[in-house]
Structure 1
């Protein structure tokens, strides 16, 4: 009877307190967006990910929260779509290759141009420095400076160093995202 009662209680909790939230993952090509999404969804990291053409959508269940991720292509021809998929989401996740310093000026400019869009005002931003397992990666503090995150006002901004490959700091990322569902 205890197992049946627990299942019924879980069903009621999901029915009345379950939350679905929308999250858009953006960043330049080769930053690791699709690899990160695959790992968050419970899959395995693969080194030979095919670049995203347009977008992917994947739902991930974490407790009573369903995270609906939009993974958008990072090539220049897809960046104009970013704003459309960021409107009305619970959080914007901007992924940067923390080991590819040459890409940081472009990533910074694209991020700041996107955040200037009035329809995206106030949406929380999570910047992830991916590939922290590589030797030539920069620290979180260096990433904050490189991306001029201190200049972003009137929205919550957080920054973590992660490795999709080694699953480093992914629990902290999920906790941050789930906390946005409660607001």
Structure 2
């Protein structure tokens, strides 16, 4: 009988305390946005992801928080729509391939250009250096320097090293996002 009451309690709690957050996941093509979202939503990592054309949306349920995650294409022709999907988001997640050092200057430029938009001021930013399982990847301190993250003002900025493939540090990512729901 205790299980029955627990289910009723959880259901009532979800009615009154459930939180839905809009999360926008952006980054250059091949950074691992779709793979990360697939793993976060309970799926398996696959190496044969096709590039996102436009956007994908998935809901990730963690406790009483539902993360509505928008995964936007990273090819140059889709970057113009990043601002539209970042407006009103609870958090912006910027994903970079930490092993693609040559792409970091472009990633830095795209990120800083986006964050100059006044309508996005104050939205927390989580930068994820994906592919930490690869030997030639940059660590968090190097990513912070390469992406000039210390220069970003008027918002909370955090940076983590992750691997969607190995599921490294994904609990920290989810906890960071859920903490934004509590504010």
Structure 1: how far apart are the matches of 2:61 and 2:31?
24
Structure 1: how far apart are the matches of 2:60 and 2:130?
20
| Residue correspondences, number | 183
Does residue 36 of structure 2 align to residue 36 of structure 1? yes
Structure 1: how far apart are the matches of 2:158 and 2:164?
18
In the other structure, the counterpart of 1:86 is: 86
Query: How far does residue 182 in structure 1 lie from its aligned partner after superposition?
Result: 1.0
In the other structure, the counterpart of 2:133 is: 133
Gaps of 5+ in 1: none
Structure 2: how far apart are the matches of 1:94 and 1:180?
16
Structure 1: how far apart are the matches of 2:57 and 2:7?
29
Equivalences for 1:8-157 in 2 at 5 Å?
A: 8-157=8-157
Query: How far does residue 154 in structure 1 lie from its aligned partner after superposition?
Result: 1.1
Question: 1:28 is paired with a residue of what secondary structure?
Answer: coil
Does residue 168 of structure 2 align to residue 163 of structure 1? no
Structure 1: how far apart are the matches of 2:116 and 2:4?
51
Question: 1:94 is paired with a residue of what secondary structure?
Answer: strand
Gaps of 5+ in 2: none
TM-score by length of 1: 0.99
Structure 1: how far apart are the matches of 2:3 and 2:21?
29
Structure 1: how far apart are the matches of 2:94 and 2:3?
42
Structure 1: how far apart are the matches of 2:152 and 2:35?
27
TM-score by length of 2: 0.99
Query: How far does residue 169 in structure 1 lie from its aligned partner after superposition?
Result: 0.1
Question: 2:154 is paired with a residue of what secondary structure?
Answer: coil
RMSD between aligned residues? 0.4
Structure 2: how far apart are the matches of 1:76 and 1:84?
15
Deviation digits for residues 35-61 of structure 1 (CA, Å, limit 9, x no counterpart): 000000000000010000000000011
